[in-house]
Structure 1
Amino acid sequence: MRKFTAFACGTGAGLLTFYLTKLNEPKAAVHNSWTRSEKPVDPCALWDHNWDLRDPKSLVKPVKNDLSQEQNRYNSELEKVVPKHARHIILIRHGEYLDVGDTDETHHLTERGREQAKYTGKRLCELGIKWDKVIASTMVRAQETADIILDEIDYEKAKVKNCAFLREGAPIPPQPPVGHWKPEASQFFRDGARIEAAFRRYFYRAYPDQTKDSYTLLVGHGNVIRYFVCRALQFPPEAWLRISINHASITWLTISPSGNVSIKYLGDTGFMPVNHLTNRIPRAAKNVV
């Protein structure tokens, strides 16, 4: 009986000590299991602050020592290269076109495609944006879309730039692969380098001497826009084919002075009637003129 009593007292004291210790421990935050917030962030999810090679700290000679003169020099040079304003990149996919013939010259907008472009132009006009640059792909369907949009917005057609780098293509083999679309490896090799060059040409944080937010309008193609979105947001570029955007849709990306990138619209066509919403190419017999 004495042994049992001693055992019970010892066990009770042990449990009491355990619970008192737990009560005195700092309260851990409650996390939902799906957030994985208690696990280390995957390296591929970390933001690369120098993605455009224009992080101010990478442009200034580092401090050599702890002397105040050296620190003042560093601070002064850093201030000169820090952007003060944002860059807004607005991407427009061309309107619906008819896939007739084997060359780009025969790929003109359908009547619905022209109406889509007009709706988009009106929407851009309503947004009241003062455009700094308008750039269009050199392909016929993008040129026709840009012309219709320019009739609606406040921008001189003579100032529009044409860029062959924005032409449609196969940017990178997609993941997961799709069975209905398998370009040759050489097409990815050829188009991918060009489309990546286009991204580097148009996506970067503002220069330090930019005195206000800037707005650039790019009229291009679905594959190119989807790849740009993945690259700009630092998503795996192979994921581009998981995104679907409608014809004549608006995609709006903002590059802040810090270099952070956010997306305001992705394939927005909410301003169009439902019967104008399309994203696939209507096919026609090759012998149709």
Structure 2
Amino acid sequence: MLPRLLLMLSCLLLTAPLCAAESSAPATRTIVLVRHGYYLPDPAADSRLGPHLAPIGVAQAQLVGARLAGLPTRFDTMLVSPVQRARDTAAIIAGDFPGRHFEVVDDLAECMPPTRRVEAMAKEKPADLAACKQQLDRLFARYFTPAAGHPQTELMVCHGNVIRNMVVRALGVDSKAWLEMSVGNASITRILVEADGRFKVISVGDVGHLPPNLRTGATGDAERSLEIPALP
């Protein structure tokens, strides 16, 4: 902190170029991606926005919000998908961040990008696959870059397909390999963008804040509910 203050004083007392260098120098960017909580299909829901969170999804969102609030960092930007289940999750997380708000980013919406799984591709329209790829291209190009001036940390509340696709892009592997991963509801994925543009995937699908009976959405997780069962 002291060297930074000294450089700021130099900017004020000496020359403007030092200020410009300070404000534009590449710096690290940490992106924290949170998958939305559990939800159930609802035929009555808006076809574009989808259904709200189920009760277990609300509980998951509360727990991930507490986990995020306990991190030793401050989020410079908080972003969310326009889809309802992500917005619900973000609204609950926001309760742990008084005075902060989420910005809705359309390119964080769930979609189906191309995958090498033939059986999955057979169900999709080529135009939809191409549109999703373009969407995720824009997202990666816009946000997965070094910060300017000082380290930045972004929070993104979005979807499993989006998160997995960002991970394979950061790893520099086949972008169609994303379906070989599985991330649970309300999981946390961290990707670091170095000042020189290199990537470090720190964690993928972390659900350490969720007890086993509240884990859903990943391969091997059972279907669960917080509804009260009938009395035997």
C-alpha contact (below 8 Å) 1:91/1:250 kept by paired residues: yes
Q: Does 1:241 align with 2:203?
A: no
Go from structure 1 to structure 2 and tell me whether the alpha carbon gap of 1:213 and 1:108 turns closer, same or farther (over 3 Å shift): same
User: Which residue identity is paired with 1:227?
Assistant: N
One of 133, 145, 149 as aligned partner of 2:93: 149
- Shift of residue 178 of structure 1? 3.4
Shift of 1:153: 3.0
List structure 1 segments (4+ residues) > 6 angstroms apart after TM superposition.
79-82
TM-score by length of 1: 0.64
Q: Is the 8 A contact 1:247 1:278 kept in 2?
A: yes
Kindly indicate whether residue 32 of structure 2 is the aligned counterpart of residue 94 of structure 1. Answer: no
Q: What is the TM-score when the length of structure 2 is the normalising length?
A: 0.79
Matched with 1:265 is 203
- State the percentage of identical aligned residues: 31
Secondary structure (helix, strand or coil) at the match of 1:192 reads: helix
- Say yes or no: does 1:202 pair with 2:146: no
> Which structure 1 residue ranges, 5 or more long, are not aligned?
1-78, 283-289
- CA positional deviation for 1:106: 4.7
Q: 1:170 to 1:268 in 2, by over 3 A?
A: same
In the alignment, what sits opposite 2:13? none
Equivalent residue number for residue 214 of structure 1: 152
Q: Secondary structure at the match of 2:32?
A: strand
Q: Which letter maps to 2:103?
A: K
Partner of 1:128: 72
Please give the per-residue CA displacement for 1:75-103, whole angstroms capped at 9, x wherever unaligned: xxxx8898452100000111011111161
Task: After TM superposition, list the pairs within 5 Å mapping 1:29-108 onto structure 2.
Answer: 83-101=25-43, 103-108=47-52
Q: 1:145 to 1:261 in 2, by over 3 A?
A: same
Supply the AA of the counterpart residue of 1:92: V
Answering whether residue 41 of structure 2 is matched by residue 119 of structure 1, we say no
Aligned residue for 2:135, secondary structure, equals: helix
Within 2, Cα distance between the matches of 1:198 and 1:143?
18
In structure 1, the residue matched to 2:130 is: 189
Secondary structure class of the residue paired with 2:87: helix
Correspondences of 1:154-165 after superposition (within 5 Å): 156-157=100-101, 160-165=102-107
Q: Distance in 2 between matches of 1:104 and 1:97?
A: 15
Rg larger in 1 or in 2? 1
SS at match of 2:67: helix
* Structure 2 residue 84 is matched with structure 1 residue 140: yes
For 1:232 and 1:154, the matched residues in 2 are separated by 32
| Aligned mates of 2:143, 2:30 — CA distance in 1 | 11
Contact 2:26 2:146 in 1 (8 A): no
C-alpha spacing 1:134/1:179, structure 2 compared with 1 (3 Å): closer
Distance 1:162 1:214 in 2: 19
The one-letter amino acid of 1:107's match is P
Residue 232 in structure 1 maps to residue 173 in structure 2: no
Using a 3 Å threshold, how does the CA distance of structure 1 residues 89 and 261 change in structure 2: closer, same or farther?
same
